[in-house]
Amino acid sequence: MLKKGSAGDNVLNWNLTYFVFGGILFFSGLVWVVGFQDGAAKWEDFYVKEIARVVDSAGVAEEAYIDVTPAVAIALKRKVPINDIFKFDNERNIITVKLSPQSGTSFRYFNEIGVLNGGVELSSGSSNTNRLHIQFVEVKDE
């Protein structure tokens, strides 16, 4: 037999479950929105794909300069060291762009070429323009 008070416990459990689930969704959405603050996620995605495109079209003994002024401004504002913004993994052919301390975006390039990160440097044309200097070298098989 059903007791009069037993239905109340079940409603309380369901309400508590919905409240916890709603809180998890709210905080997940908040973390996702904060990732787009200052356009960091957008610029990470843009630069990682643009650099991969440049690497895929490059040949041995070539150099490339890419204007990375917005990315450097966002990274320095979020206290990311300038040497950690752009990382190349030549063994796995992956470029990683990191504009915030807790995240980063990686993308694979397909050209079997060695990439040397020359670092971010000031352009000679303007004192507030930053550019990434990349050198392409032959991959040595071991």
pLDDT of residue 2: 57
Instruction: Give me the mean pLDDT over the 3-7 stretch.
Output: 57
pLDDT of residue 45: 93
pLDDT of residue 101: 86
- Mapped onto helix, strand or coil, the DSSP state of residue 11 is helix
Q: Using CA atoms of 56, 60, 140, 50 in order, give the dihedral in degrees to the nearest 10.
A: -30
Q: Using CA atoms of 81, 82, 88, 94 in order, give the dihedral in degrees to the nearest 10.
A: 70
**Is there a contact between 72 and 85 (Cβ–Cβ < 8 Å)?**
yes
Listed by start position, the domains of the chain span 1-35, 38-137
**Is there a contact between 117 and 141 (Cβ–Cβ < 8 Å)?**
no
pLDDT digits (tens, 9 = 90+) for 6-49: 555 678 888 899 999 999 999 999 888 876 777 888 899 999 99
pLDDT of residue 41: 85
pLDDT digits (tens, 9 = 90+) for 101-142: 888 899 999 988 899 887 888 666 666 788 899 999 987 665
d(CA 140, CA 10): 67
Which token pair is 8? 């109340």
pLDDT digits (tens, 9 = 90+) for 50-68: 999 999 999 888 999 999 9
pLDDT digits (tens, 9 = 90+) for 69-112: 999 888 888 899 988 999 999 899 999 999 988 888 999 999 88
d(CA 86, CA 50): 12
Which token pair is 49? 């794909």
Which token pair is 129? 């323009």
**Is there a contact between 74 and 127 (Cβ–Cβ < 8 Å)?**
no
